[in-house]
């Protein structure tokens, strides 16, 4: 537990993320005794209210989003640590007021974590305004900044943003969030691979036929249509979450488990990805997407994408990685399926050999977190018939009542402790944009596939099945049936 006194300053204090995720995560951390003894949470926004109004807003949020832990006793202490400063975060003068207010609330020197839970356009002005009032200076405690995604809109804007934040903060003070890295099951990929002997032995091009990463959502774009129509699935999900999952699956073991060693290995993976062939991409919209309020009637924004890519290094040469993600799909599931090559089947006759499905390891990121390994077993009372059977591990049954913390709990705690391992480094962000930018601009220039459509509740367009079909493969589902 961090020992000192600290302040978390949340810019965007009345935003959806703060209400649904950040305050509930902090409340959970408090109830589990993980927060520093003296921690103040200062919300900053332009909404006209005071500390009482801010507390009431988040009390209602906590009752809605974490009703299982809410008690009036715990809230009476936790809620008492919430403070509100009304300020225009685009104005330099507003920060003078904020600085004075923080000094008064803190009463004594304190560490500070600035959390930018605001749209990306505000990242730069906030950082500049902090600097204009020397609020990044570490003479009275550490100063760190958490930057929410999306980090930039493309490679150029991400580079600009990195450069302007670096003018004020050192890289080790900057924590760029990708909440997928805070998910327990995403972290477990490294433990599954490197804390066991079995899997790493097979984890290479000699044994693995292909890897599939699916992040499917059943929700549509909902009330975020205006943001989403400018963004699309490649920026919203691939540049960050899918590529992050991919790095965890494909990276080499770091020599030591610290932030830099880990992130060096992830960057190497991203830099080894071969430029994606546009013929190996699929883009699609769900059928009534263009009728959504806030969406352009001629929108060319993809709500679904599928890609085939290759990692040109010793371990992965020529192993296809198939990635797909979309909104309004059949169900919410994030899963990574590692399919092994077929065994040589000399001892079986051809008819039997053909029924043998390859071994598959499924890492179920969410929901029903766990892992399954599918292998062949002989059908009882047959001569040589086999069936695929499953060895399954589910967090819920293996770890009983121990709850899986929300990703934001892990990430906020790590930032308070100064551990950046689960945050994205500047070169990593830029390497990821290097991969998706050419696809986005190729599509915008009319190259590659035309926009396909898919029915709500389906698994996506048939074009995505064809992408694998051309290679004699199909998309696999193993988690959350
Ligand atoms: C966010 C995207 O980063 O991740 C959303 O902006 C998406 O569009 C969300 O719905 C998915 O996160 P999770 O944790 O629900 O899988």
Q: What is the pLDDT of residues 249-291, one digit of tens each?
A: 999 999 998 999 999 999 999 999 999 999 999 999 999 999 9
pLDDT tens digits for range 146-169: 999 999 999 999 999 999 999 999
430 lines ligand 1 (CB under 6 A): no
Does the pLDDT of residue 235 top 90, yes or no?
yes
Taking Cα atoms as reference points, which of 72, 2, 69 lies closest to residue 31? 69
Residue with CA at minimum distance from ligand 1 atom 10: 217
Strands 304-309 and 281-286: antiparallel
Q: Helices marked H in 290-346 — which ranges?
A: none
Q: Are 432 and 267 in contact, with CB atoms under 8 Å apart?
A: no
Q: Backbone phi, then psi, for 338, in 5-degree steps? A: -105, 115
Residue with tokens 């590692």: 338
Using the atom order of ligand 1, give the atom closest to the CA of residue 334: 16
Pocket test for ligand 1, best of 241, 303, 333, 364 (most atoms within 8 A of CB): 241
Q: How far apart are CA 462 and CA 330, in angstroms?
A: 14
Burial of 297 (0-12, 13-18, 19+ CB in 10 A): exposed
d(CA 207, CA 315): 10
d(CA 457, CA 8): 40
Query: Taking 70 as the threshold, does the pLDDT of residue 1 lie above it?
Result: no
H-helix segments, 15-116: 16-17, 23-31, 51-65, 72-80, 92-106
Q: How open is the CA angle 217-221-223, to the nearest 5 degrees?
A: 135
Evaluate if residue 226 carries a pLDDT over 60.
Answer: yes
Percent of the chain with pLDDT over 70: 99
Identify the band that residue 343 occupies on the pLDDT scale cut at 50, 70 and 90.
confident
What angle is formed at CA 396 by the lines to CA 390 and CA 399, rounded to 5 degrees? 105
d(CA 151, CA 161): 8
> What is the distance in A from the centroid of ligand 1 to the CA of 215?
9
The SS3 call for residue 43 is: strand
Would you state the structure tokens that stand for residue 374, as one six-digit string?
């599918």
pLDDT at 2 over 80: no
- Structural tokens at position 52: 């009482």
Query: Burial level of 392, CB count in 10 A (0-12/13-18/19+)?
Result: middle
Which parts of 207-326 are beta strand (E)?
208-216, 281-286, 304-309, 321-326
Closest CA to 429 of 257, 273, 305, 270: 270
pLDDT tops 80 at residue 170: yes
* Residue 214 CA, ligand 1 centroid: distance in Å: 13
Predicted confidence at residue 346, as pLDDT, reads: 65
Sign of CA dihedral 58, 64, 70, 72: positive
Q: Which of 28, 123, 179, 241 is catalytic?
A: 241
Ligand 1 atom with minimal separation from the 241 CA: 3
Q: Which contiguous run of DSSP H or E holds residue 361? A: strand 360-366
Beta carbons of 22 and 58 less than 8 angstroms apart: no
> Would you say residue 354 has pLDDT above 90?
no
Residue 58 annotated to the active site: no
The tokens of 112 are what?
A: 């500070």
Q: Which of 158, 462, 148 is nearest to 324 (CA)?
A: 462
Query: What percent of the chain shows pLDDT beyond 90?
Result: 86
d(CA 300, CA 292): 13
Within 13 A of 188's CA, how many CA atoms are on the CB side? 18
335 C-beta closer than 6 A to ligand 1:
no
Mean pLDDT of the chain: 94
C-alpha 178 – ligand 1 centre gap (Å): 10
Q: What is the pLDDT of residues 425-450, one digit of tens each?
A: 999 999 999 999 999 999 999 999 99
Provide the pairing of β-strand 321-326 with 304-309: antiparallel
Rounded CA separation 27/75 (Å): 8
Query: What number does the ligand 1 atom closest to the CA of 240 have?
Result: 3
Single out the residue of 369, 305, 310 nearest to residue 336, CA to CA.
369
The CA-based dihedral angle spanning residues 167, 168, 174, 179, taken in that order and rounded to the nearest 10 degrees: -90
Tokens of 32: 């589990």
Res. 392: pLDDT tops 60? yes
pLDDT class of 481 with cuts at 50, 70, 90: low
End-to-end CA distance of the chain: 39
Task: Identify the DSSP state of 278.
Answer: G
Question: Angle at CA 473, nearest 5°, toward 472 and 477?
Answer: 165
**Taking the model in full, what pTM does it have?**
0.95
How confident is the model over 17-61, as pLDDT tens digits? 999 999 999 999 999 999 987 899 999 999 999 999 999 999 999
- Contact (Cβ atoms closer than 8 angstroms) between residue 344 and residue 353: no
Host H or E run for residue 373: strand 370-378
The C-alpha atoms of residue 214 and residue 292 are separated, in whole angstroms, by: 25
Instruction: Please give the distance, rounded to the nearest whole angstrom, from the Cα atom of residue 179 to the centre of ligand 1.
Output: 8
Q: Is the CB of 217 under 6 A from ligand 1?
A: yes
Mean pLDDT within 317-342: 97
- For position 347, what pLDDT does the model report? 73
pLDDT of residue 8: 98
Q: What is the pLDDT of residue 24?
A: 96
CA of 453 to the centre of ligand 1 (A): 21
Tens of pLDDT, residue by residue over 109-137, are: 999 999 999 998 999 999 999 999 999 99
Tell me, using a 6 A CB cutoff, whether residue 148 lines ligand 1. Answer: no
Per-residue model confidence (pLDDT) at position 37 = 78
How far is the centre of ligand 1, averaged over its atoms, from the C-alpha of 438 (Å)? 23
Give the three-class secondary structure for 465. helix
pLDDT at 3 over 50: no
User: What are the structure tokens assigned to 208, written together?
Assistant: 């693995």
Q: Residue 126: which of 170, 168, 179 has the closest Cα? A: 168
């Amino acid at each position: 537990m961090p020992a000192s006194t600290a302040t978390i300053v949340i810019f965007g204090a009345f935003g959806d993320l703060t209400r649904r995720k950040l305050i509930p995560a902090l409340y959970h951390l408090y109830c589990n005794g993980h927060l520093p003894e003296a921690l103040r949470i200062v919300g900053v926004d332009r909404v006209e209210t005071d500390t009482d109004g801010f507390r009431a807003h988040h009390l209602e949020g906590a009752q809605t989003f974490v009703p299982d832990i809410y008690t009036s006793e715990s809230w009476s202490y936790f809620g008492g640590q919430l403070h509100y400063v009304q300020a225009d975060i685009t104005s330099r003068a507003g920060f003078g007021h904020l600085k004075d207010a923080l000094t008064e609330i803190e009463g004594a020197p304190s560490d500070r974590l600035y959390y930018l839970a605001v749209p990306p356009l505000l990242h730069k002005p906030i950082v500049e305004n902090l600097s204009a009032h020397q609020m990044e200076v570490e003479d009275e405690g550490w100063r760190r900044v958490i930057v929410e995604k999306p980090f930039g809109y493309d490679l150029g804007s991400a580079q600009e943003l990195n450069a302007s934040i670096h003018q004020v903060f050192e890289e080790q003070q900057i924590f760029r969030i990708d909440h997928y890295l805070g998910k327990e099951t995403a972290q477990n990929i490294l433990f599954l691979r490197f804390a066991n002997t079995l899997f790493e032995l097979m984890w290479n091009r000699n044994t693995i036929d292909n890897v599939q990463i699916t992040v499917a959502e059943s929700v549509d774009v909902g009330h975020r249509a205006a943001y989403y129509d400018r963004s699309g699935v490649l920026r919203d999900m691939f540049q960050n979450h899918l590529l992050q999952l991919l790095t965890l699956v494909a990276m080499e073991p770091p020599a030591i488990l610290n932030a830099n060693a880990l992130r060096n290995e992830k960057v190497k993976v991203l830099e080894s990805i071969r430029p994606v062939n546009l013929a190996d991409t699929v883009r699609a919209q769900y059928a009534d997407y263009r009728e959504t309020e806030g969406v352009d009637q001629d929108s060319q924004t993809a709500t679904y994408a599928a890609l085939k890519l290759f990692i040109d290094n010793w371990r992965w040469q020529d192993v296809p990685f198939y990635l797909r993600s979309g909104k309004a799909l059949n169900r919410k599931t994030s899963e990574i399926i590692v399919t092994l090559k077929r065994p040589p089947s000399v001892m079986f006759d051809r008819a039997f050999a053909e029924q043998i499905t390859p071994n598959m390891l499924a890492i179920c990121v969410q929901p029903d977190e766990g892992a399954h390994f599918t292998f062949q077993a002989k059908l009882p009372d047959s001569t040589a018939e086999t069936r695929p059977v499953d060895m399954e591990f589910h967090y819920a049954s293996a770890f009983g009542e121990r709850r899986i913390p929300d990703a934001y709990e892990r990430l906020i705690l790590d930032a308070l402790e100064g551990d950046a391992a689960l945050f994205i480094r500047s070169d990593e962000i830029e390497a990821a944009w290097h991969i998706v930018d050419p696809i986005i601009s190729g599509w915008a220039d009319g190259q590659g596939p035309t926009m396909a459509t898919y029915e709500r509740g389906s698994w996506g367009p048939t074009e995505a099945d064809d992408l694998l079909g051309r290679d004699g493969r199909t998309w696999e589902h193993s988690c959350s049936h």
